Chain A
Amino acid sequence: MFRIVHKRQLSDAVFEMGVEAPRIAEKARAGQFLMLRIAEGGERIPLTFSDWSAQDGWVRFIFMRVGKTTHELAHLEVGDSLLDVVGPLGVPTHVDGLGRVAVIGGGVGAAVAYPVARAMAAAGSEVTVILGARNADLLILEDEFRALDGVDVVVATDDGSAGEKALVTAPLGRMAGEGTIDNAMAIGPAIMMKFCAQTAREHGVPCVVSLNPIMVDGTGMCGACRVTVDGETKFGCVDGPDFDGWKVDFEELMSRQRIYVDDERLADAEYSRECSCHL
């Protein structure tokens, strides 16, 4: 059992949660993820670390309430427990020697971008974080990013309610075009990562992306997370989650993310009905 020691609501549907997991906290690195299962009969879902403390023995992640499992998760409070938490999984993000680097965090992707930007800055890179969201309400962790040493922050929202009214690709394209960045890393929805990689590529800037395919075990056993990179099949869980964004087949990734939409809708509807019965 893994006790919940922290919970914070970041926006209407986005939550930050911390669980006690000393062994995992000791090993966690930026860009890695955990698998969790709330209770018996639950599914295993991957969530990338948003923070951790080896000293205090906890790890944190940020999630958006979208389906049954994340709805259930959002209902849990500090003091409750998760049945299973496994990690740290995946290859840590490469953070050394990146020079001037843009880290793009779109929507909940900002959660993953936070420790990544922190680690890159600590390794001596000049980091500019581009935070993107549909609107100001959905923007998360802006203050935390601004508090990081050696990190500049640029904000872009679709409706202009915070920062500039633009997609994240606008500031990224500008910086890449002006030659003020050597590297980029994009973390967010697949479609955003696709366009970030495309924009960076137009200017010859390498762009790593942190992919979020469907997983079951998260340890290389099932292959549900297959992605095509440079024409070759890779497993998101053990070969990734970071890949060269220039070479990722994003269309396939997005298609594979949709395989269970009908099932997910059904599970969510059943869950809502059950919840309303218990009210």
Chain B
Amino acid sequence: MSSVDSTGAEKPRHKASRAPRTPMSERPAKERARDFGEVGMGYTQEEAIAEANRCLQCRNATCIEGCPVNIDIKSFIGHIIDGEWSQGVAVLKERNALPAVCGRVCPQEEQCEIACVLSKKGEPVAIGRLERYLGDYDLACEIDHRCVPEVADPSGRRCAVVGSGPAGLACAGELARLGHAVTIFESLHAPGGVLTYGIPEFRLPMQIVETEIEMLTQMGVEIITDTVVGATVTLEELRTTEGFDAVFIGNGAGLPVFMGIPGENLNGVYSANEFLTRVNLMGAYDFPKADTPVWRGRKVAVVGGGNVAMDAARTALRLGAEEVFLAYRRTQDEMPARREEVHHAQQEGVEFKMLCSPVEIVGSDGFVTGFTATRMELGEPDASGRRAPVCVMDSEFTIECDTVIMAVGTRANPLLSNAAPDLELTSRGYIVADETGATNLEGIYAGGDIVTGAATVILAMGAGKRAAQAMDGWLKDLS
């Protein structure tokens, strides 16, 4: 890389390596499918440097445009090439409060990596793995040596953030950086939102989430758990009696959707939310040491084809199921899950039953014994651009199982909005907000799944961050 370092000496010009993309080692499928330890091991220092060296350091780095929070990817990879780990971390944290989280769960293959010039020629730089490498480097440092973004002088303004999931955390981090006093209100007993209750340990260790959240508290962000905005305190009270100048709502789309078919309330039918919450948040994998139980099926069916369906299926395997299969109404090509997750699930032994849609869950004595499904075929493309599944007449068949996990989506939780009648909502209960996150109420912003419907961690973080910048502008205009 051609640049001048702090001593004034010119560094040698970067010459990209032509080596193939550096693989990341993973624990063997057989071993990892029976415990909750992490699947991907992360790069070693040598691997990180080797992969970073593949980066062309393009003059016009298109990858940055591909990132929803516009991380200066070229620069942090440049620091890895030069072995400047802390500087690399600082670049990441300028834009992203949770690099170790995003390095693991972002769909880089459809964001920054697809925008990488090398992706056109075959294999893009493994930007996600490099981000994870630096994120983990930072977390491994003693707490005093971790990179904490610089915080501007106190503005004297107070901001409330509703929800401590990806949107709320990103918003809080940015507001704090801009010098505002921030309080996050979380309804559960632990912060993190979907990062904590939803994404399993083997994909995102709880310790990583906790430590990255800790950085926000080091920046002065206060987190109050056990507080349901809409019940314990209303949106209006946050502005009035609680005295916050601005509020960001990032409470997610947390209400599980069921299919509305007969038998869904039999014992052994779970929403993916409940199943994952019991295991991840409540620690049911450790029952009876932890007090919350979970029904441990021998033969588990998961309905759906997204990342949550993969998480539920792989969690069921780890709880000791003999057989886990996925029922999806389209084919593997249309699955919204990340290819990597699909691959991992298959490696671990999750069976895929494609073009299969349950029509009735059957049981005896109140417990699930199986379900009846109909065969599907793909018709014309629908609104999502994917070919729509169509029922094949008289194709019903029965599958035996003792657990059914519904991972067919979530919708907006009305708890907050019911107590805020003036807040403008869509017909489906999502909050109406413009591209800056501004709602119809002055000083109230919103972002993440509660605006867009269920999406990804990084899109929610992007929305939280953009809203924080808009809030900052609005607060400045106040004074």
Q: CB-CB < 8 A to A69: which residues of B?
A: 291
Given contacts A68-B291, A69-B291, A216-B292, 18 further A-B contacts (CB under 8 A): A27-B232, A41-B291, A44-B282, A44-B292, A84-B225, A86-B227, A87-B228, A87-B232, A216-B278, A217-B188, A219-B187, A221-B256, A222-B278, A223-B273, A227-B265, A233-B264, A252-B366, A267-B293
Which A residue sits closest to B189, measured CB to CB?
A84
Other-chain residue from B231, B264, B288 in contact with A263 (beta carbon distance below 8 A): B288
B contact set with A: CB distance below 8 Å: 187-189, 197, 225-228, 231-233, 254-256, 258, 260, 264-265, 267-268, 270-271, 273-274, 277-278, 282-283, 286-293, 295, 365-367, 413-415
Cα-based distance from A242 to B475 in the complex (angstroms): 43
A contacts with B, residue count (CB < 8 A): 41
The stretch among A117-125, A131-139, A159-167, A254-262 that forms the contact with chain B is A254-262
**Contact flag A258-B274 (CB < 8 Å), given A220-B255, A263-B293:** no
A83 touches B293 (CB 8 A): no
B232 touches A24 (CB 8 A): yes
CB proximity to B under 8 Å, residues A83-121:
83-89
| Min CB–CB distance B414 → chain A (angstroms) | 7
Interchain Cβ contacts under 8 Å between A and B, 29 examples: A23-B227, A37-B189, A41-B289, A68-B291, A83-B189, A86-B228, A87-B232, A88-B232, A216-B292, A217-B277, A220-B413, A221-B197, A221-B273, A221-B277, A222-B271, A223-B255, A223-B256, A223-B270, A223-B273, A224-B274, A226-B258, A226-B265, A238-B414, A252-B366, A255-B366, A258-B267, A258-B366, A259-B367, A264-B293
CB proximity to B under 8 Å, residues A210-243:
216-217, 219-224, 226-228, 233, 238
A41 touches B290 (CB 8 A): yes
Which A residue sits closest to B198, measured CB to CB?
A221
Q: CB-CB < 8 A to A263: which residues of B?
A: 287-288, 293
Q: CB-CB < 8 A to B414: which residues of A?
A: 220, 238
Cα-based distance from A147 to B117 in the complex (angstroms): 80
Q: CB-CB < 8 A to A23: which residues of B?
A: 227, 232-233
Which B residue sits closest to A45, measured CB to CB?
B291
B231 touches A89 (CB 8 A): yes
| Min CB–CB distance B117 → chain A (angstroms) | 42
For the complex, is A142 an interface residue (Cβ under 8 Å from B)? Answer: no
| Min CB–CB distance A66 → chain B (angstroms) | 14
Other-chain residue from A37, A86, A222 in contact with B187 (beta carbon distance below 8 A): A86
Cα-based distance from A263 to B284 in the complex (angstroms): 11
A221 touches B287 (CB 8 A): no
CB proximity to B under 8 Å, residues A134-169:
none
Q: CB-CB < 8 A to B189: which residues of A?
A: 37, 44, 83-84, 86
| Min CB–CB distance A26 → chain B (angstroms) | 9
| Min CB–CB distance A241 → chain B (angstroms) | 14
Q: CB-CB < 8 A to B274: which residues of A?
A: 216, 222-224
Which B residue sits closest to A222, measured CB to CB?
B274
Instruction: Select the residue from B278, B366, B367 with max chain A CB neighbours within 10 A.
Output: B366
For the complex, is A266 an interface residue (Cβ under 8 Å from B)? Answer: yes
Q: CB-CB < 8 A to A83: which residues of B?
A: 189
Cα-based distance from A233 to B406 in the complex (angstroms): 15
Which A residue sits closest to B187, measured CB to CB?
A219
**Contact flag A27-B231 (CB < 8 Å), given A41-B290, A43-B291:** yes
Q: CB-CB < 8 A to A270: which residues of B?
A: 288
Cα-based distance from A71 to B341 in the complex (angstroms): 42
Other-chain residue from B291, B295, B366 in contact with A267 (beta carbon distance below 8 A): B291
Cα-based distance from A89 to B295 in the complex (angstroms): 26
| Min CB–CB distance A250 → chain B (angstroms) | 13
Q: CB-CB < 8 A to A227: which residues of B?
A: 265
**Contact flag A267-B287 (CB < 8 Å), given A23-B232, A217-B188:** yes
Q: CB-CB < 8 A to B287: which residues of A?
A: 263, 267
Cα-based distance from A146 to B273 in the complex (angstroms): 45
Cα-based distance from A259 to B270 in the complex (angstroms): 12
A216 touches B256 (CB 8 A): no
A255 touches B267 (CB 8 A): yes
**Contact flag A222-B232 (CB < 8 Å), given A41-B283, A233-B264:** no
Cα-based distance from A224 to B277 in the complex (angstroms): 11
| Min CB–CB distance B409 → chain A (angstroms) | 12
| Min CB–CB distance B28 → chain A (angstroms) | 31
Cα-based distance from A182 to B168 in the complex (angstroms): 49
Cα-based distance from A145 to B59 in the complex (angstroms): 79
| Min CB–CB distance B264 → chain A (angstroms) | 7
For the complex, is A42 an interface residue (Cβ under 8 Å from B)? Answer: yes
Instruction: Select the residue from A41, A42, A219, A252 with max chain B CB neighbours within 10 A.
Output: A219
Which B residue sits closest to A269, measured CB to CB?
B288
Q: CB-CB < 8 A to A256: which residues of B?
A: 265, 267, 366
Cα-based distance from A37 to B188 in the complex (angstroms): 11
Q: CB-CB < 8 A to B277: which residues of A?
A: 216-217, 221-222
Q: CB-CB < 8 A to B268: which residues of A?
A: 259
CB proximity to B under 8 Å, residues A44-99:
44, 68-69, 83-89
| Min CB–CB distance A212 → chain B (angstroms) | 16
Cα-based distance from A86 to B229 in the complex (angstroms): 11
| Min CB–CB distance B363 → chain A (angstroms) | 9
8 residue pairs, one from A and one from B, having the closest CB atoms: A255-B366, A263-B293, A222-B274, A43-B291, A259-B267, A223-B271, A84-B189, A43-B292
Cα-based distance from A227 to B366 in the complex (angstroms): 13
B254 touches A220 (CB 8 A): yes
Which A residue sits closest to B278, measured CB to CB?
A216
Q: CB-CB < 8 A to B254: which residues of A?
A: 219-221
| Min CB–CB distance A157 → chain B (angstroms) | 31
A228 touches B292 (CB 8 A): no
Cα-based distance from A27 to B255 in the complex (angstroms): 23
Which B residue sits closest to A263, measured CB to CB?
B293
Q: CB-CB < 8 A to B228: which residues of A?
A: 86-87, 89, 219
A219 touches B413 (CB 8 A): yes
| Min CB–CB distance B358 → chain A (angstroms) | 15
